[in-house]
Structure 1
C-alpha cells in the first residue's frame, strides 16, 4: 500500500511539473483538504483548482529529496522553485504530509519556507 501511495504522489508531482493540473486533480478526492501551515487552508477540488491556476503561473520545479511512507501517509521533503507574479523565481524548502484515502490524495499538510540565497 505505501509503495502504491508513493507512486501516486510521484505521478501527481509529474503532472504538476508538466502543467497538467487536471491530471493532478484526477488523483485527488473531491473533498481534498490542503493546509498551508501558518497561512491558509483550501477545501475541495475546486478550491485547489483555483489556487493552482492562480499560483502556478508556470509549472513549479520539484526536487524531492526524501519520500517516507507509512500506512495511509506519505511525507515528501525537498525543494520547490516557482515564479511569482513578476516572473521572479522564488526557492522554497518544503515538507508535505499527504494522507491517502481509497488510492487518492485526500489531505495535505504543507510546511513551506522560502529559502534565501546565502
Structure 2
C-alpha cells in the first residue's frame, strides 16, 4: 500500500528522470537545499532550477524504485536508474535520496540529500 507521500515521491522521481522541470521546481520550497554527496550543496529554488536545467537527460532511461520510506516530515527513496549515454553505452546508477519536507500536510521538499553511484551489472 502506497501512502500519499510515497505516491508523491514516486511521481517526483519520475518527473526528475523525465526532466519535467515545471513539476520538480513546483514541488520544492524557495529555500530548498540539495546536496549531492561529494559535490557542493545547491541552495535556493533559483539555483536548484539552474542546476536541474543543466542536467542533460540521457537517452532511454529506466527507473526502478526499490523502497520508499516515509515518517512525518522525512522520507527516503532508493533504487536504480538505467541511462543510455551519448555514445550509446548503457550505465546503471544506484541512488538513495533522503528528503525533508517543510510540513506534514501538503508538503514541499525543503532538503534533499542524494547518494548516487555507478554500479556494474
Q: TM-score, normalised by structure 1?
A: 0.82
Count, aligned residues: 116
Aligned to 2:8: 8
Aligned to 1:62: 63
CA contact (8 A) 2:36 2:113 kept: yes
CA contact (8 A) 2:18 2:57 kept: no
Instruction: Identify the range of structure 1 (24-33 vs 59-68) with the bigger mean alpha-carbon deviation.
Output: 59-68
Aligned to 1:114: 118
CA distance in 1, matches of 2:87, 2:48: 22
After TM superposition, give the deviation of residue 23 of structure 1 in Å. 1.0
Structure 1 gaps, min length 5 = none
CA contact (8 A) 2:68 2:76 kept: yes
Structure 2 gaps, min length 5 = none
How big is the alpha-carbon RMSD for the aligned residues of Structure 1 and Structure 2? 2.3
CA distance in 1, matches of 2:6, 2:87: 34
CA contact (8 A) 1:83 1:89 kept: yes
Instruction: Identify the range of structure 1 (22-31 vs 51-60) with the bigger mean alpha-carbon deviation.
Output: 51-60
- Higher relative contact order at CA 8 Å, sep ≥6: structure 1 or structure 2? 1
Alignment of 1:9-88 (within 5 A): 9-58=9-58, 60-84=61-85, 88=89
Pick closer, same or farther for the CA change 1:19–1:38 going to 2, 3 Å: closer
CA distance in 2, matches of 1:44, 1:85: 30
After TM superposition, give the deviation of residue 20 of structure 1 in Å. 1.4
